[in-house]
Amino acid sequence: MPAATANGITIEYETFGDPGAEPVLLIMGLSGQLTMWDPDFCRALADAGFHVIRFDNRDVGLSTWFDAAGLPDLATLLGGSPPTPPYTLSDMAADTAGLLDALGLPSAHIVGVSMGGMIAQTFAIAYPARTRTLVSVMSTTGDPTVGQPRADALAALLGPMPTTRDEAIERETALWRVIGSPGFPFDERMVRDRAAAAYDRAFNPAGVVRQIAAILSQPDRTPRLAAVRAPALVVHGVSDPLVDPSGGRATAAAIPGARLKLVPGMGHDIPRELFAELVPELTHHFREGIAAPVA
């Protein structure tokens, strides 16, 4: 996979489809490497006529790690008085803009899931002329009164960090049993294989803690989302235990003209069974945005 220098760091990325087609930039969530974007999902978007880009956020995968920043104190962060984090979601949005610069792309369709949705929203606010369309999936606005996790989901997410490959596989399997989509079969073999591959590719639990610090210190974007003019689609699982659907509803309500799609049976993942429904939904949204002027 290629790497780019962007916003002063190295960002690992991969592309699918015709480089001359309309670009779609996929932003992954907390702890997720670019490989969390299912290749079949990426190929389906590319086959629909788009140039798809997936990448490792800072502090995960093969992009730059911020080990010199040390470890934030999670107990303090969760106590409601977070100190200044090593970096912010705005820094991560600037990484995204820097990757577009490195690829010579003035704008793109911006798609983010979970933390990636928070980054995508932040990007749309900060870089309106670079946001062709916005898709925020299983995410929230930063308003602490919406989108809060269920207690069991939060406990599964914030459990002890693994130190070995076997522990990493078991932890991921246990996590996705809690936060995955209850309306679809749980594919334990796929989850275990994915966790093993992620561990073998790059294992950086300290980076996950720093990303959590960025999430916990995010501002409420609601007032600034009112200024977003990019066509926006908000997708949220009705059964999401990690980011309550109220977060998706609030996101759609905050962005003028945003369309909300609530998906029955969907939790905090995108099951393969939903590709056939969601890929046409996204590509239709992108095509509507192609003709719309960029703000």
Q: What is the pLDDT of residues 219-260, one digit of tens each?
A: 999 999 999 999 999 999 999 999 999 999 999 999 999 999
What is the spatial distance between Cα 14 and Cα 54, in angstroms, rounded to a whole number?
5
pLDDT of residue 73: 78
| CATH code of domain 3-149+205-290 | 3.40.50.1820
β-pairing verdict for 9-16 and 3-6: antiparallel
Phi, psi of 61 (to 5 degrees): 60, -135
Among 291, 289, 281, 292, smallest CA distance to 44 is for 281
Could you report the per-residue pLDDT of 109-123, keeping only the tens digit for each? 999 999 999 999 999
> Average of pLDDT values for 115-134?
98
| Tokens encoding 127 | 């870089």
pLDDT reported for residue 72: 85
pLDDT value at 173 more than 70:
yes
> How far apart are alpha carbons 23 and 105 in whole angstroms?
8
Please check whether residue 64 is in contact with residue 42, taking contact to mean a CB–CB distance below 8 angstroms: no
- The predicted model scores a pTM of 0.96
Confidence grade of residue 295 (pLDDT, cut at 50, 70, 90): very low
pLDDT of 1 reads: 77
- Cα angle at 282 between 277 and 286, to 5 degrees? 155
What mean pLDDT value characterizes the chain? 95
The pLDDT-based confidence of 293 (bands split at 50, 70, 90) is: low
pLDDT of 80: 67
pLDDT at 79: 73
- Indicate whether 49 pLDDT > 80: yes
Looking at residue 292, what is its pLDDT? Answer: 61
Alpha helix (H) residue ranges in 103-138: 115-126
Strand partners, 260: 234
Map out the domains of the chain as residue ranges.
3-149+205-290
